[in-house]
Amino acid sequence: MFWFTIALLIFIFQIATILILEFRRPAKSVAWILILFVLPVIGFVMYYFLAKEYRNRHKIRKRGIPPEEVRLTALRRSKLIHRPSDMTNRDYLHQERLFHLLHHFTDSPITGCNKAEVLTDGQATFDAIIAAIEKAEHHVHMEYYTIRHDEIGCRFKELLIRKAKQGIKVRLIYDGVGSYELSSEYIRELEQAGVETECFLTPRIAFFDKRINYRNHRKIAIIDGTVGFIGGINIGDEYLGKNPKLGYWRDTHVRLEGDSVYYLQEVFLKDWWFTAREKLSDPEYLPLHHCSSDEQVQIVSSGPNSGLEEILECVFAALAAAKKRIYIATPYFIPDESLLMALRTAALSGVDVRIIIPGVSDSKLVLAASLSYVEELMAAGVRVYRYGKGFMHAKVLLVDHLLASVGTANMDQRSFYSNFEINALLFDPKPMKKIEEDFIEDLANSHELSLYEIRSRPLRSRFGQVVARMLSPLL
Q: Which residues form the catalytic set?
A: 217, 219, 224, 393, 395, 400
Burial 415-428 (b: 16+ CB within 10 A, else e): bbbbbbbbbbbbbb
d(CA 192, CA 472): 43
CB 115 within 8 A of CB 244: no
Q: Which residues, 6+ apart, have CB-to-CB distance to 373 below 8 Å? A: 333, 334, 335, 340, 469
CB 405 within 8 A of CB 397: yes
d(CA 264, CA 215): 18
CB 140 within 8 A of CB 171: yes
Could you tell me the CA-to-CA distances from 395 to 332, 357, 406 in Å, in that order? 9, 10, 6
Beta bridge partners of 86: none
Q: SS3 for 101? A: helix
CB 404 within 8 A of CB 435: yes
With 0-12 / 13-18 / 19 or more C-beta atoms within 10 angstroms meaning exposed / middle / buried, residue 82 is: exposed
Q: How many CB atoms lie within 10 A of CB 458?
A: 8
Q: How many CB atoms lie within 10 A of CB 272?
A: 21
The residue type at 349: S
* DSSP conformation letters of 160-224: HHHHHHTT-EEEEEEETTTTTT--HHHHHHHHHTT-EEEEES-HHHHHHTT-TT--B--EEEEET
| HSE-CB of 381 using CA atoms within 13 angstroms | 15
CB 230 within 8 A of CB 407: yes
| Cα 267 to chain centroid, rounded | 13
Pairing of strands 390-392, 333-334: unpaired
The percent helix, strand, coil of the chain (3-state, each to 5) is 45, 25, 30
The residue type at 199: C
